[in-house]
A and B are shown apart, each in its own frame.
Chain A
Amino acid sequence: MSATSAPSTLPIVDIRHVSKSFGALKALNNVSMSMSLGEKVVIIGPSGSGKSTLLRSINKLETVDSGTIIVDGLDINAPATDINKLRMELGMVFQSFNLFPHKTVLENLTLAPMKLKGMSRAEADEMGLKLLDKVGIMEKAHVYPSKLSGGQQQRVAIARALAMSPKIMLFDEPTRALDPEMIGEVLDVMVTLAREGMTMAVVTHEMGFAREVADRVVFMDHGGIIEEGTPEHFFKSPEHDRTKLFLSQIL
């Protein structure tokens, strides 16, 4: 997979020496990581290791205590940076879907493009339906999210993020809240997206997905990156004991 979408060398996300504490707890401890355009990075690690915190600090849902994060050439924590504008380039998919329950499926997709990009309703609807078709639930366009299964909701959530035409997609354990039989339909959408060349950072425990899609696998523990490498390296010959231990538990 990594051969089909060769990552260019330009870093689109550059995380440098980032630390973040919640009270006495160090959720991120001097983490550095960068991603180039088109690259797919899968982040794995035990619970509480800081995966979500790292991902969420990329679009500033968490503000880091120290270090810098550059996204698309802009320091996200610089006072001059318009974070709302920058977030339009960063699609995010949550474990708990977080669809807007008071909007129909289609409205979930069109709200942001209409309000933030000044798209007309007709344009937005057309684009929204196209995206729903892409994630395979066009027939649900006019129902409310509460009527959908978890897998369908998550596919809508992905489409909603894509509706802003982001440059980068962030996924925080998108399949963790799903019944096993629905995981595949969501992963399929993500694989398609990866094949189209989307830059993706994915926190997941789906090792099959990591093997198939990742250009790089990052293993985190206790707020730090312990080891990173290609899937081949990572699954066949991990170097650190903690990585080996984790992989032995999860595989």
Chain B
Amino acid sequence: MSETRIIDVGEGAAIPSKTDWGLFNAWTISIVFAISTIFYLIVFEPAPYKRIILYLSDGVIITFEVTIISIICACIIGLITGLGRVSKNKAINLLASTYVEIIRGIPLLVQLFYIYYALGRLLNVHDLTAAVIAMSVCYGAYMGEVFRAGITAIDKGQSEAARSLGFNTKQTMFLVILPQAWRTILPPVGNEFIALLKDTSLVSILAVSDLLRRGREFSSETFLYFETFTMVALVYLVITLLLSKGVSLMEARLSHYVRH
């Protein structure tokens, strides 16, 4: 009656597969590889690498900031959009659908430029804020689709049962439908989180000193391109792997009522 339905949205599995080979799974191998390489380089070749990592650390924080705030905003926008997309109210439905249609039709980079230069300059918005708004608005649309898919995947009998007990549409959505939809929504949402994290590197094109931009600055001053971008790639890898682990832990916790 309640087997997990997987909604396949876009990219492949960013979340480690469930096949348990002890320590020999892709996630563990990757994280061990990334962290030990970073440590090895810092300890045994401190000359460029320690300098690099210290220079990059500000950028890591900015990347984190942009990612976390954008994820939160995109989730809220996504939830609202998803609810709008399943709403029986025609105007709300049309509004949500149009938003998704427009956003999905414009490349993220163009949206970034647009919000950053066009709106940012016009309204005098802070650089970082403009970047976060652009990421959130874009990913909000994608997440809206994930939410919509998750909500519509719940059997119609669930909302009929809730309605027949006397719950109104809102109570039905928040007490019955969404708590179940999380389970199917979370894997694709996790994929969106990770895609978002990686796409924050695009904000380096703007005047936002994220991880990638700090790398570009450092390498253009020192001409240590290979060393710098090796470090940048490794740091992105570590952050991405940690985020994907977090998502799969959350997923495991949410699936409690099927396993019991």
Contact = CB atoms under 8 A, between A and B. Distances in A.
A97 B1 CA distance: 10
A101 B180 contact: yes
B169 to A, nearest CB: 9
Given A84-B168, A97-B1, A100-B176, A144 B260 contact: yes
A96 B180 contact: no
A61 interface: yes
Interface stretch (A111-119, A127-135, A180-188, A212-220): A111-119
Contact of B165 (A116, A146, A147): A116
Contact of B258 (A59, A99, A146, A164): A146
A88 interface: yes
A155 interface: no
Interface string A25-56: 00000000000000000000000000000000
B166 A84 contact: yes
Interface string B136-159: 000000000000000000010110
A102 interface: yes
Contacts of B65: none
Chain B binding surface, main DSSP class: helix
B28 interface: no
A87 B168 CA distance: 10
Contacts of B158: 98, 100
B257 A112 contact: no
B167 A115 contact: yes
Given A101-B1, A116-B166, A146-B2, A94 B161 contact: yes
B104 interface: no
A112 B160 contact: no
A92 B163 CA distance: 10
A200 interface: no
A115 B164 contact: no
Contact of A88 (B161, B166, B260): B166
A91 B175 CA distance: 19
A146 B256 CA distance: 12
Interface of A: 59, 61, 84-85, 87-88, 90-92, 94, 96-103, 111-112, 115-116, 143-147, 153, 157, 160-161, 164
